[in-house]
Chains A and B, each alone.
Chain A
Amino acid sequence: MSANGAAKVEPAPKLIVRDLAVFYDGKKAVGPVSLDIVGQHVTALIGPSGCGKSTFLRSLNRMNELIAGCRVEGSVRLDGDPIYGPGIDPVAVRRRIGMVFQRSNPFPKSIQENVAYGLRIGGVKDAQEIAGRVELALTQAALWEEVRDRLNDSALGLSGGQQQRLCIARALAVEPEVLLMDEPASALDPIATAHIEELINELSANYTVVIVTHNMQQAARVADYTAFFYLGELVEFDRTDVIFTKPSNSRTEDYITGRFG
């Protein structure tokens, strides 16, 4: 883990968030939030339930606008490209910024077809290329060895932890630059959770990962950077070791030490 590498040079931000605010039916739910997310590192968003961390996450790949009555203000730039604005296609944004959800949600299709879904809708037709990229994605998600002999079985027959890794493989298959994860291990047992956390560490070598978690130990274990949200505001954002050892805000400290939340 690179969280304790204090002497490390700060890399360029992958996502630059400026004054991002999210409204539901005119009522402000989050923001305004300004934050830089560093490339090829893991950033955790923590905070008590209802603090807006999931809403913030979903506004990073424009999933919020699927909810009726939701409005987003401010700007998000991915490598300098704005993801909000007239003429910007949310479909193109989501191809570059993938997402894994809290509850594993495999399609009622075979394991192979689940992972191939994003490729097929993206226009990849060559069967050999699809097979190769499915294997690669499943390998990256540490699932290949377990499912290689039953790629044509239904994905719904997998265990909960396997299903979630399948969903990660499905997201990786389209080769996004950023992977958003919304409490990806909250519905899993400790062993499956450990699998996922190990996986997140490995993924950060190639991907920029933003993970929402309500498990502070998880944030401490997997994240290089941590943002603490409270009541829709970003309270503090720093390297994880700083947040967990010497937070500058008293509310962060109260939350970290378990005084509320």
Chain B
Amino acid sequence: MTAGAATVPASDRAALTANRTRRNFVADGAMAIASGAALLIVLTILAVILFDIIRHGAPRLSIAFLTEAPRNGMTEGGIFPAIIGMLEMVILMTLAGVPVGVATAIYLHEYASPISPVTRAIRIAVANLAGVPSIVFGLFGLGFFVQFLGAGIDKAFFHGEKVLGQPALIWAALTMAVLTLPVVIVATEEALRAVPRELREASLALGATQFQTVIHVAVPQASPGILTGTILAVSRGAGEVAPILFTGAAYFLPQLPKHLSSQFMSPSYHVYVLSTQSPDVDATQPILYATVLVLLLLTFALNVAAVVVRSRMRRRYAGATA
């Protein structure tokens, strides 16, 4: 570069510089305006949605709303059973999905050869899994878990009596676990990739096996990332409707779900029910908005928790890479 520049006469060099500066200036300005406008549009949409939901939903929100069951054809009362149902589903989903996702990521990153066709096929499969529409997961859950696994278990252990061969909490949780697997796998792999090579080498040079290095060094170091992925999966699971539509969610239940085979209510499905099946639209509308607000606050709280957990644990491990 410097050698080439030296052969250009000084006057030409100045002209070239000026030209480029002017062009850069115009491009920078246009880019700044375009991206600023895009940002404004996004913020406006978000603000309108939030404002609308808060305006209609906040007046209906109260402790009673969170602790009472719906009454009178869902035109009165609260959403307590839906919140409990969602919590149970999300906990089961996490217990079922996260270990499988973390183990998959550990295999992919720590053991599988990065250039083997099998590894690449698994990675492509995971990416595709993330792109499948959620209603397809719902149908998969109905076909595989409810009608195949559930009905099979009924035939084998309950003499054909319908216990697990129908939509149930466990099947909805497992369907949702499959749906959120890619989130956990990708987050865990990303976190494992960020573990400094120096730490792995330190462990191996002390005579640790690959397995010991993964368990005692890599996974603890990656735990903030794994936890963040888990929380994001939970936040996604809490908001989805389609996967639980055919696999376990109920329109209305007089009692809380007590068994894995119980059906359950969920705020997301409740919103769908309230907005499409209400006998009295005017009476249910405030309840609908308040439910949406609760759902939004829960998701928001989970996302904030993910950020806090990540930054806290990152600070704890900060010195390791510095």
A122 touches B201 (CB 8 A): no
Nearest-neighbour CB distance to chain B for A39, whole angstroms, equals: 20
B217 touches A107 (CB 8 A): yes
Q: Which of A's residues lie within 8 Å of B, judged by CB? A: 61, 63, 66, 68, 91-92, 94-95, 98-99, 101, 103, 105-108, 117-118, 121-122, 154, 156-157, 167, 170-171, 174
Residues of B within 8 A of A63 (CB): 201, 204-205
Q: At the interface, yes or no: B207 with Cβ under 8 Å from chain A?
A: yes
With A101-B198, A105-B196, A121-B212 as known contacts, state yes or no: A156 contacts B319, CB within 8 Å.
Answer: yes
Whose C-beta in chain B lies nearest to the C-beta of A62? B204
Q: At the interface, yes or no: B49 with Cβ under 8 Å from chain A?
A: no
Residues of A within 8 A of B201 (CB): 63, 66, 99, 101, 105
With A68-B114, A108-B316, A108-B319 as known contacts, state yes or no: A171 contacts B206, CB within 8 Å.
Answer: yes
Q: What number of B residues sit within 8 Å (CB to CB) of A?
A: 24
Residues of B within 8 A of A167 (CB): 202
A121 touches B216 (CB 8 A): yes
Q: Which of A92, A98, A103, A156 contacts B206 (CB 8 A)?
A: A98
Residues of A within 8 A of B272 (CB): none
Q: Which of B206, B220, B318 contacts A170 (CB 8 A)?
A: B206
CA of A63 to CA of B217, assembled, Å: 17
A91 touches B198 (CB 8 A): no
A108 touches B317 (CB 8 A): yes
Tell me the total A-B contact number using a CB cutoff of 8 A. 74
Residues of A within 8 A of B317 (CB): 108
Q: Which of B's residues lie within 8 Å of A, judged by CB? A: 114, 196, 198-209, 212, 216-217, 220-221, 316-320
Q: Which of A106, A117, A122, A156 contacts B216 (CB 8 A)?
A: A117
With A101-B202, A105-B198 as known contacts, state yes or no: A91 contacts B209, CB within 8 Å.
Answer: yes
- 27 cross-chain CB contacts under 8 A: A68-B114, A91-B204, A91-B207, A92-B207, A94-B204, A94-B205, A95-B206, A98-B206, A99-B201, A99-B205, A101-B198, A101-B201, A105-B198, A107-B199, A107-B202, A107-B203, A107-B320, A108-B220, A108-B320, A117-B208, A121-B209, A121-B216, A122-B207, A170-B206, A171-B205, A174-B206, A174-B207
Residues of B within 8 A of A157 (CB): 319
CA of A118 to CA of B317, assembled, Å: 20
Given contacts A91-B207, A121-B209, 9 further A-B contacts (CB under 8 A): A66-B201, A94-B207, A95-B207, A101-B205, A107-B203, A108-B221, A118-B208, A170-B206, A174-B207
Nearest-neighbour CB distance to chain A for B317, whole angstroms, equals: 5
Nearest-neighbour CB distance to chain A for B320, whole angstroms, equals: 5
Residues of A within 8 A of B209 (CB): 91, 121
Residues of B within 8 A of A68 (CB): 114
Whose C-beta in chain B lies nearest to the C-beta of A93? B207
CA of A107 to CA of B317, assembled, Å: 9
Residues of B within 8 A of A92 (CB): 207
CA of A56 to CA of B161, assembled, Å: 70
Q: Identify the interface centre among A91, A108, A157, A170: most chain B CB within 10 Å of its CB.
A: A108
CA of A170 to CA of B201, assembled, Å: 13
Which A-B residue pairs are the 5 nearest by beta carbons?
Answer: A156-B319, A95-B207, A118-B206, A105-B198, A99-B205
Residues of A within 8 A of B200 (CB): 66
A91 touches B205 (CB 8 A): no
CA of A118 to CA of B196, assembled, Å: 19
A156 touches B320 (CB 8 A): yes
Residues of A within 8 A of B202 (CB): 101, 105-107, 167, 170
Residues of A within 8 A of B319 (CB): 108, 154, 156-157
Nearest-neighbour CB distance to chain A for B126, whole angstroms, equals: 22
CA of A156 to CA of B318, assembled, Å: 9
CA of A92 to CA of B207, assembled, Å: 7
CA of A115 to CA of B202, assembled, Å: 11
